[in-house]
């Protein structure tokens, strides 16, 4: 006779000590990818393991480029450059491109997603940032979520 075993265990219900042990060897990219699993797991990773346990990104430069249909975040370190692109698509869908992988997310905008990722990335930054650049290329007349940041004329 075989017993049917169903588990309702959820990843975000793991004890903090287990998550700390698992993520101890992760680099920034792995942690950022893992934080995209779900909101509860993202909170668990950032708050549960403690910010002091997060890996250092060691970025020297961060460039933010905003245009009518999306945002690009570019991070430079001494070893490499990472780029994350966010594009607003039709019907409230955002296309997030990181490490040659496209992720389509419903119910969010490029602006909201990029700022959330930037906030998480800055939590990983433990060394001095030498350069920050923000480039904005759009008009308040654009019919995009980012236009709400600019005052009306």
Per-residue pLDDT of 73-108, as tens digits, reads: 999 988 889 899 999 998 889 999 988 888 888 888
Please tell me the predicted confidence (pLDDT) of residue 23. 75
Cβ–Cβ under 8 Å, residues 109 and 95: no
Please tell me the predicted confidence (pLDDT) of residue 125. 82
Q: Are residues 35 and 97 in the same domain?
A: no
Whether 5 is covered by a domain: the verdict is no
Please tell me the predicted confidence (pLDDT) of residue 124. 78
Q: Are residues 133 and 65 in the same domain?
A: yes
Q: Are residues 49 and 101 in the same domain?
A: no
Please tell me the predicted confidence (pLDDT) of residue 73. 95
Domain that holds residue 20: 14-55
Whether 49 is covered by a domain: the verdict is yes
Whether 96 is covered by a domain: the verdict is yes
Whether 114 is covered by a domain: the verdict is yes
What is the Cα–Cα distance from 146 to 139, expressed in whole angstroms? 9
Please tell me the predicted confidence (pLDDT) of residue 140. 63
**Ranges of the chain with pLDDT below 50:** 5
Q: Rounded to whole angstroms, what are the CA distances from 88 to 70, 72, 105, 124? A: 6, 12, 10, 26
Please tell me the predicted confidence (pLDDT) of residue 132. 92
Q: Are residues 133 and 82 in the same domain?
A: yes
Q: Are residues 45 and 76 in the same domain?
A: no
Q: Are residues 131 and 74 in the same domain?
A: yes
Q: Which of 64, 47, 11 is nearest to 123 (CA)?
A: 47
Neighbours of 113 (CB within 10 A): 21
Please tell me the predicted confidence (pLDDT) of residue 64. 95
Q: Are residues 35 and 80 in the same domain?
A: no
> 119 Cβ partners below 8 Å, 6+ apart?
none
> 30 Cβ partners below 8 Å, 6+ apart?
23
Whether 151 is covered by a domain: the verdict is no
Q: Are residues 64 and 21 in the same domain?
A: no
Instruction: Please tell me the pTM assigned to this model.
Output: 0.72
Whether 142 is covered by a domain: the verdict is no
Quote the distance between the C-alpha of residue 133 and its chain's center. Answer: 18
Report the alpha-carbon angle 100-24-77, nearest 5: 50
Cβ–Cβ under 8 Å, residues 133 and 64: yes
Please tell me the predicted confidence (pLDDT) of residue 68. 81
Q: Are residues 64 and 132 in the same domain?
A: yes
Whether 84 is covered by a domain: the verdict is yes
Q: Are residues 44 and 63 in the same domain?
A: no
Q: What is the tally of structural domains in the chain?
A: 2
Q: Are residues 74 and 46 in the same domain?
A: no
Whether 6 is covered by a domain: the verdict is no
What is the Cα–Cα distance from 62 to 114, expressed in whole angstroms? 13
Dihedral of the alpha carbons of 39, 42, 44, 49, in degrees to the nearest 10: -170
């Amino acid at each position: 006779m075989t017993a049917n075993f169903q588990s309702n265990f959820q990843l975000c219900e793991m004890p903090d000590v287990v998550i700390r042990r698992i993520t101890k060897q992760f680099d920034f990219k792995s942690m950022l990818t893992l934080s995209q699993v779900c909101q509860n797991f993202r909170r668990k990773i950032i708050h549960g393991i403690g910010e002091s346990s997060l890996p250092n990104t060691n970025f020297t430069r961060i460039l933010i480029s905003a245009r009518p249909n999306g945002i690009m975040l570019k991070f430079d370190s001494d070893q490499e450059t990472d780029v994350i692109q966010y594009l607003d698509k039709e019907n409230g869908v955002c296309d997030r491109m990181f490490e040659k992988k496209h992720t389509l997310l419903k119910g969010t905008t490029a602006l909201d997603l990029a700022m959330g990722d930037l906030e998480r990335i800055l939590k990983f930054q433990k060394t001095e940032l030498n350069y920050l650049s923000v480039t904005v290329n759009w008009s308040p007349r654009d019919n995009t979520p980012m236009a709400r940041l600019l005052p009306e004329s």
